Amino acid sequence: MNTNYLEPDEIYLFNCGELYHSYLKMGAHIIECNSLHGTNFAVWVPEALKVCLVGEFNNWSSTDSSMTEIGTSGVWSIFIPKVLHGKLYKYEVHTKNGKVFLKSDPFAFYSEFRPATASIVWQLEGFSWQDQVWMKQRGVNVQEMPLLIYEVHLGSWRRKEDGTYYNWRTLAVELLGYVISLGYTHIELMPIMEHPFDGSWGYQLTGFYSCTSRFGNPQDFMYFVNQCHLEGIGVILDWVPGHFCKDAHGLGRFNGSPIYENDENEQWGTYNFNFEKTEVWSYLISNAIFWLDRFHVDGLRVDGVSSMLYPDYEKPKHSWKLNINGGRENLRAVAFMKRLNEAVLQNFPDVLMIAEESTEWPLVTCPTDENGLGYNFKWNMGWMNDTLRYMGLDFPLRKDNHQLLTFSMTYAFSENYILPLSHDEVVHGKKSLIGRMPGEYSQKFSGLRSLYGYWMCHPGKKLLFMGGEFAQFIEWNEEAELDWFLLEYEMHQKLRNYVRDLNKLYCQERALWENEQDWAGFEWIDVHNHQQCILIFCRKALETDNFLIILINFQPNSYVNFRLGVPKKGFYQEIFNSDLSIYGGSNHINSSLVRAEKVAWHGQKFSITINVAPLAIVILKPIMNT
């Protein structure tokens, strides 16, 4: 039975690239039509000769299952007078040159577990959300709040004893409890959309609207998000709108020729989305809104923004065409991103849109009406690259590379940044974070503690990939769970306690996150001490007397009565020291209050003297009423 479930204005908006809730009509939906309960299917296949619906409900036969094209829109539709919830299906696409393809539904809400590839009719309604309090308050300006993200690949965080995956409801206990115990504010999930190849880590998708069947069904994921919100934890999804998997059942060559794509992404072996196609805009912008709407997700980290902005990104010279202005930019991709962020802002002004952008593209986090791209945050890849390069240097080489630590402050306020210590930095021969540290065993842990301290005190929100919190020694492997047995060893256990307490300090101390949009919240005290490899700076909250003095020693040398300048008189208390024995250090700390002397130092009117441990961070806070 053929019906026109989509209204003419919806078809028009879809073809124009402006139907931003297209998931409400496209794909498979259980509806009532002419007093009949059944399932409506709609799919965009322009210039097809014929499209048929096949599935287990008709023995995968295309007889009597031909769909009807709605005008010349390229959208084909059919109504089956049966409630087909849970049934498998595909589209059989007949091309004008006589070829036939079986395709999964681009709008399917659920799919078979790999290696099977059929779509599954699935109702998303019926889940009882209980996160109203969270949803109401999450709109608080996150620029003025702590943002501390734990990045997770679900398939390799933990597994059952038999090697199979945890499901969402178990993760809502195990993962959520773990994240809460360590003091994070958000979980970022590497892509959970359906993908056929585990080795892609989820970044090569076939089902953009399908919550992967690896961990349960869509309602199970809703349960996970709901539980996170009840415990005060936000959920961010990695989202991949730049390219997609080439597998035969997916979006590629959907009608026998490119309709979603325009060329091959040689870097990843995928197809690039064609942003010249307005229907692709409807598909992708709707997809972003879908996850925010139906699953109450709190943000999207947009993957591979640079490769979308620049057709020549990481390609050989002259292997691309210049745009109409003679530039390298993909002008349609730029326009798409602006429209994407405008649509998200209009529908969900309280969520995060985060760009993984590694070039010097300007105004990524500025509003679109100020000629920006409209994201809330951008990953600070420059800080990450410079910092990890420095931390990997042998100690004698560090004094000649001091600028690697200081250069990031020349642009720290040009965008709203997140400082990422992500999965990309612990794979492909780069070593784990602790594996990069020079020195012997204990020095590696001291060095990692100093890295984390510098990261936490540098302006910018924070992201740490799983395993970094307890110093996994080997590189990340998506085929196996983390090396949890390392927590049986004292130094690894102490490092996790260090990360927990550092996270707690970050969330408690407003100076570390409240005032970091410009230089009002940061002041160098000593930026030039490259000989000793020591940085000293001040982080300031909005309240005048609420500030922290931070000293970081990047050499394995200790100091007694080390003098440093401070801005105000009074007493200073050490509130954090990475060299505490409970963290694996030597306890070369400052346990007593330190009184400021009227001795000018480092350009400050006052100064104090403290003990400084090797490879340690010291954080001091003024005690004004003492």
Q: CA torsion, points 371, 374, 378, 382, in degrees to nearest 10?
A: -10
d(CA 49, CA 139): 48
- Choice among 151, 188, 279, 356 that is catalytic: 356
Burial class (CB in 10 A: 0-12, 13-18, 19+), 317: exposed
* CA triple 424-442-490, angle to 5 deg: 85
Q: How far apart are CA 206 and CA 250, in angstroms?
A: 5
Please say if 303 is a catalytic residue. yes
What is 93-157 written as a DSSP string? Answer: EEPTTS-EEEE--TT-S-BPPTT---EE----TT-----HHHHHHTTS-GGGS--EEEEE-HHHH
What angle is formed at CA 98 by the lines to CA 96 and CA 100, rounded to 5 degrees? 100
Please count the CA atoms within 13 angstroms of the CA of 499 that sit on its side-chain side: 28
Cα–Cα separations (whole angstroms), residue 93 to 26, 104, 306, 503, 563: 17, 10, 34, 53, 76
CA distance between the termini of the chain = 82
CA distances in angstroms from 239 to 193, 294, 330, listed in the order given: 8, 15, 20
Active site residue 18: no
Nearest Cα residue to 594 out of 607, 581, 577: 607
Q: Which of 151, 261, 303, 509 is catalytic?
A: 303
Question: Would you please indicate which residues are annotated as catalytic (active-site) residues?
Answer: 303, 356
